[in-house]
Chains A and B, each alone.
Chain A
């Protein structure tokens, strides 16, 4: 049973603002959970606390049903994939991968078997005798992955493993990673700042900002029912349009708004262009498969997405389908109903 239980973890560095401010969540056995957020939100610190590379100021941590807050990393039955891979530069690929097993006294035939297995799965067979300096970035990343796989730990911890790859490689590797860990049947905690990665790979996402959890849920939850303005604008590209109540009313696109100090949200991809109220097209951004339009609807600035290229000129009609409107409480940013 490889459940990860994070309870009310707090951490500050040097008595300043807390990096982690009371974070709690649970990762179920075999689940793939992403810690998502911008740089500085605390996600890497949290991952390192789970690994035992840092210690929390307060709170509790459980792995596989065991309380591990004071247990050193090597005894937590975890594997960690570093952002910069942290390969031993003076050892060959197979020596790198074998290191953790050797230090634990695993018998040599078993080590050989596991290395062969991981090498086959990751396409590392021709590289086993090379040193990291002779490998490309993508190859080094796979070695780092192999190193974690052979340990067969309860929990895999990955610190932005794709961020050092170029965009093309990143796209390709995402799918491969997802499959790889599904087969490995471990619990995975994955840190990233890239929402597409989080959305495509995770069973659930923990969204963080400034050391606090903004929302925990499936990708679908976060997309369809964001818990606050932050979550609403973090996921989705281009981000959700957020309009203050006064502008929303003036635009005439949002009839029947309830009372109160509100922020109104609607996703660009859900706006219906071609029917509804008049709007001025201010910016046209063709992306190839679709086009992003920045519109001015009676003073309210909205972005919309239309398929293909835009041939419609400098004005258009835009409408808001019922059910695509999100309401947020203006002072707190929290979702309203």
Chain B
């Protein structure tokens, strides 16, 4: 660091405007939410709360697992140079870059009961009895519709994170493994996967946190239906506050959500560290 004479508190001025913005818009409201929250006892008696949490957690687990597997596959395919890689990468990035809420509309059309292309395609492939499937009217298929849409959107992000991890693995290790006698599959398990572990851990934790708070997709694709059976905690809290106008309880739900997040993160970090200390 140069400038020891001018180091110190004065330099905070550079960061001050940014800190101010973030403080007012993010920190303050979080504080407010905690302050406004009340009626915590309702969490225990609310019959909707636990199913909603269950839905949210299972959505998170399933989606992140699928994203990881697919993201890894995509990363492996798109990582080494080949002609047209730029174009392929751009194509793959597009799902992530498109507005979630907007694409949710697109997915609603794909899953439309009467004229949705998903039903038609599966019918032509002989996988369903009729081309008209009420995807979003059934809790299970609606759940999987959300999973599909979310995995579609976030796989590119995972792939990018994993590609950066892949780039950090020196070529020499693959060569040494090749000379040691490992074919391509073995090399994946002996070199790639172990060295990717730290990147995978970060990516999974990050994505789990984001999926836990999923709102846009669920709100627009299913509205939390049918009958509230695909509601995530974020959608439920929103409903409670803005539809049922129950401010205090809604904030309590948000607080519960935040605490769950912290807990979840702690558990995942603990599991990751535990694995490392082998």
Contacts and interface: CB of A to CB of B under 8 A. Distances in A.
Given A84-B170, A84-B172, A86-B170, A79 B181 contact: no
Interface stretch (B14-22, B92-100, B124-132, B189-197): B189-197
List the 9 closest A-B pairs by CB distance, nearest first.
A100-B180, A103-B181, A86-B172, A86-B176, A74-B181, A90-B194, A73-B179, A80-B179, A99-B180
B189 to A, nearest CB: 11
B34 to A, nearest CB: 42
Interface string B61-102: 000000000000000000000000000000000000000000
B134 to A, nearest CB: 49
A79 B195 CA distance: 23
B178 interface: yes
A53 interface: yes
Nearest to A53: B175
Contacts of A89: 195
A103 B183 CA distance: 10
A149 to B, nearest CB: 13
Interface in B177-216: 177-183, 186, 190-191, 194-195, 197
Interface residues of A, number: 21
Q: B170, B179, B182, B197: which has the most chain A beta carbons within 10 Å?
A: B179
Contacts of B176: 80, 82, 86-88, 147
Contacts of A80: 175-176, 179
Given A86-B175, A99-B177, A74 B182 contact: yes
A53 B172 CA distance: 10
Interface of B: 170, 172-173, 175-183, 186, 190-191, 194-195, 197
B194 A104 contact: no
Contacts, number: 55
B197 to A, nearest CB: 8
11 contacts: A73-B179, A74-B180, A78-B179, A86-B170, A88-B177, A88-B190, A90-B197, A99-B177, A103-B180, A103-B186, A104-B181
Contact of B191 (A72, A73, A88): A88
Q: A100, A104, A147: which has the most chain B beta carbons within 10 Å?
A: A100
Nearest to A78: B179
Interface string A53-94: 100000000000000000011100011101010111110000
Nearest to A72: B178
A72 B182 CA distance: 11
A100 B187 CA distance: 12
Contacts of B177: 88, 99
Query: Chain B at the A interface: mostly helix, strand, loop or mixed?
Result: helix
Contacts of A99: 177, 180, 190
Interface of A: 51-53, 72-74, 78-80, 82, 84, 86-90, 99-100, 103-104, 147
Contacts of B197: 90
A90 B173 CA distance: 11
Given A74-B180, A82-B172, A90-B197, 19 more contacts: A53-B175, A53-B179, A72-B178, A73-B175, A74-B181, A80-B176, A84-B170, A84-B172, A86-B172, A87-B176, A88-B191, A88-B194, A90-B194, A99-B180, A100-B179, A100-B180, A103-B180, A103-B181, A103-B186
A99 B186 CA distance: 11
A90 B195 contact: yes
Contacts of B194: 88, 90
A313 B207 CA distance: 78
Contacts of B178: 52-53, 72-74
A64 to B, nearest CB: 16
A74 B190 contact: no
B107 to A, nearest CB: 40
A61 B25 CA distance: 69
Q: B170, B180, B194, B195: which has the most chain A beta carbons within 10 Å?
A: B180
Contacts of A78: 179
A87 B175 CA distance: 11
A80 B186 CA distance: 19
A259 B170 CA distance: 57
A220 B179 CA distance: 34
B179 A79 contact: yes
Given A99-B190, A103-B186, A86 B173 contact: yes
Nearest to A48: B175
A72 to B, nearest CB: 7
Contacts of B181: 74, 100, 103-104
B172 to A, nearest CB: 4
Contacts of B180: 74, 99-100, 103, 147
A329 to B, nearest CB: 42
B183 to A, nearest CB: 8
